Structure 1
Amino acid sequence: MRYAITGASRGLGLEFVRQLLNRGDSIDAGVRSPAEAQQLQGLVREAGGRLRVHGLNVSDPKSVDAFAAAVEQGEPLDVLINNAGVYGKDGTLTGLDYASMADTFAVNTLGPLRLTAALLPALRRGSARRIIHISSQMGSIGENGMGGSYGYRISKAAMNMAMRNMHLELRAEGFVTISLHPGWVQTDMGGPQAPLRPEESVRGMINVIDRLKAEDGGRFFSHEGQELPW
């Protein structure tokens, strides 16, 4: 299987690369600064040609087009994992940083839309036709009992709606499109106090992705495979 993974230089993205390489898959990894992604470059040397690293800023249309063109030159693409995301600045209603919110929306919501559209030709040549959006339970309106995190919550809720639209548009072609909540994970975003290690979260998410069926399309799952409320 061939995967494209965004935000692959650290955290969940890097762990996706590790686990998928270990089982024999091929990967096109997108990162903002390939030269600075030292751990990822180390994996390139071990992967025997199964890992290619490309510069990618999902909020930059030219960068997205260049990444898609590079991916298109390879084998058919089976799975896209839209993992790149940012948290942005937090604040109360009267203290919101709207410029930060716009940047968060550009990466977390418009980024997956832009990249999925650009990679559709490669995905259509693949056999699995799976599009995975790494979302968050913080994007669930029904589960929001704490408030705060305006930009992040709004961007993830909007991304979930974008995913649902993609599902309805692409399901007739055999695509399975879902949102995945990785849990609260010990990453730069989640912090050291989080209960989940990246290895556990990614192992669970890969298991969910591997087991996807047509009827799962358009749904929102946890890393344990439980369906989450919108």
Structure 2
Amino acid sequence: MNIVITGANRGIGLELVRQYLARGDSIHAGVRTPERAGELAALAESSRGRLRITACDVALETSVRALAASVSEPVELLINNAGVRSRERADGVEELDLADATRTFEVNALGPLRVTGALLPLLRRSRGAKIANISSGLGSIDNTSGGAYGYRMSKAALNMASRSLAQDLRDEGIVTVVLSPGWVRTDMGGSDAPTPVTESAAGLIGVIDRLTPRDSGGFFDFRGERIPW
């Protein structure tokens, strides 16, 4: 399978690359700063050409277009994984950093749309292509804890974008879903997170493998359970 993964230099993205390579897939990895992606580069060296790394800042149109131009084969799976956690130091609305919230929205909500739009011609060349947008349970409107305004709002916007994509691309046979990796033990999730990154990535891969057109527009966790919008 030919796969494009953004945000592939660390955490969940890196582990997805590792596990897809282990089963024989080919991957185009988009990372903002390839020179800092040492572990990814090591995987590329041993991949026998099945892993190619391209600089890609999903907040920049020119960078996203460069990623798309580096891919010549039909894309069977696009995983929009690149994302940032807002740098909020307090949960109260009085302390909300609107500039940071705007940056978070630019990356987490608009970034996947940029990448999807740029790669859509290649997705259309693949029969039964899939788009998996990595979101978060914090993006669910079923919010009982508050706070995290910038991050929550950006992921809720991504969820809505995914629903629209599912409707717009349904007749072309392209499946679009939102996936939550859970609270994962990564740099972003922190050391207190209960889920190992290997478990989360393996779960996400399993969910993606099982997707059918009937699932398009759905919001699932890494175990395959539906999440309330």
1:6–1:30 Cα contact (<8 Å) kept: yes
Spell out the pairing of 1:1-230 with structure 2 (5 A cutoff): 1-71=1-71, 73=72, 75-90=73-88, 91=90, 92-142=92-142, 144-230=143-229
> Could you tell me the TM-score, scaled by structure 1's length?
0.98
Runs of 4+ in 1 over 4 A off after TM superposition: none
Distance in 2 (alpha carbons) for counterparts of 1:40 and 1:89:
26
2:4–2:30 Cα contact (<8 Å) kept: yes
Q: Which runs of 5+ in 2 are unaligned?
A: none
Distance in 2 (alpha carbons) for counterparts of 1:40 and 1:158:
29
Matching residue's letter, 1:212: L
> Could you tell me the TM-score, scaled by structure 2's length?
0.98
How far residue 115 of structure 1 moved from its aligned partner, in angstroms, is 0.7
Local SS of the residue matching 2:70: helix
Bigger mean CA offset, 119-128 vs 174-183:
119-128
Distance in 2 (alpha carbons) for counterparts of 1:45 and 1:181:
30
Bigger mean CA offset, 85-94 vs 176-185:
85-94
How far residue 128 of structure 1 moved from its aligned partner, in angstroms, is 3.2
Deviations 1:53-79 (A, max 9, x none): 0000000010001111111x2x21100
Q: Which runs of 5+ in 1 are unaligned?
A: none
Percent identity between matched residues is 54
Q: Across the two proteins, how many residue pairs are aligned to each other?
A: 227
How far residue 126 of structure 1 moved from its aligned partner, in angstroms, is 1.4
How far residue 102 of structure 1 moved from its aligned partner, in angstroms, is 0.5
How far residue 205 of structure 1 moved from its aligned partner, in angstroms, is 0.5
Distance in 1 (alpha carbons) for counterparts of 2:46 and 2:129:
27
Deviations 1:95-128 (A, max 9, x none): 1101100000000000001110000011111123
